[in-house]
Amino acid sequence: MSAPSVALVVALALLTADGVIELGFITSMVSYLHAGAPSGTLVVNTPPGTAPGQASTYEIKGKPLGMLVNQGHTSNGAAGSAIVLIGIVGALALYARAKLPGRPLTKFLYGAWMVFQVPTFLLTLSALGYTFAVTNKHRGQTIDQTVAYATQPGPYALDQWTPQNWFAAVLDQLDLADPAVAADLARHLRIMRGWQYNLILLFLVQLAETVLALVDWWAWRQNGGHQGHLQAAGPANEKHYVSQGDYNDGTNHGHGVNYSQLQYENQAYADESKNINQHGGYSNGANTQAQQYV
């Protein structure tokens, strides 16, 4: 049996749990965007001087024309890979390694899991870097309400926006007519920022899990696990010496006796003596002495 380390099991559980949290945050944001964020159209109180003969309110789509979502897809893929390829496959592979060593299915699962380690970690790292890079690039943008008023009720067409930056600008720069809608936007904005910053935790946990998995794999390999068994007493070519009490035939109770070597030497002397007798190389006395020695 080759049980994984406790640290690896804990890291695997934490990674799976955090991946589920990340996936939940992203799913909530995607559902919100697909629903129109929140109902397709936001009613905004028109600021003074926006347009001649302006109405008291105007409408703007909940999503701008240039919404950037690829960073969300990348993060979604990273979280899903951490859950399925590392968490679920890892649990099955480690269980099979401990309970069913040497089986073809065990070798396949464990080998596939180890192959997935570095690519999935790099995917998480890429999602982290990509999300923060694109969000920071578009931070601080403003909504031109003259343009928004003129293009109503269509989507806002200027600039490109991440979901976090767009809804932060809507809450900070637009006077929404319905306070309940503003509160709902604020709640979903916290969720959007949550999945962005949770990528940091996901990255750190997956880094620890990847290192622990590689260390565990190396220890397992050193113990002969890749050959379908575990070596309990060193290399196969190492001489094993018997100690007192290992045999009960009364012939070798000494400490440190190499029993296999003695058997080999006795057989060699016996073969040599037989060869000498056949060729008459020694006298009968010498043969007798050799036989007595044997």
pLDDT above 70 coverage of the chain, percent: 73
DSSP code string of 188-205: HHHHHHHHHHHHHHHHHH
Domain boundaries, the chain: 6-227, 239-294
Partnered with residue 58 across adjacent β-strands are: 44
DSSP code string of 111-141: HHHHHHHHHHHHHHHHHHHHHHHHHHHTTT-
Residue 131 predicted with pLDDT over 50: yes
Q: What is the mean pLDDT of residues 194-205?
A: 96
168 token code pair: 């932060």
Residue 68 confidence (pLDDT): 93
Residue 16 confidence (pLDDT): 97
Across 1-5, 188-192, 217-221, least confident range: 1-5
The whole model's pTM is what?
0.71
Whole-number mean pLDDT of the chain? 81
User: Contact 19/87 with Cβ under 8 angstroms?
Assistant: yes
User: Contact 138/118 with Cβ under 8 angstroms?
Assistant: no
Residues 6+ apart with CB under 8 A from 115: none
pLDDT above 90 coverage of the chain, percent: 51
Spatial distance between the Cα atoms of 186 and 174, rounded to a whole number of angstroms? 13
Q: Is the peptide bond before 153 cis (omega within 30 degrees of 0)?
A: yes
pLDDT in tens, 147-195: 998 888 888 999 999 999 999 999 999 999 989 999 999 999 999 999 9
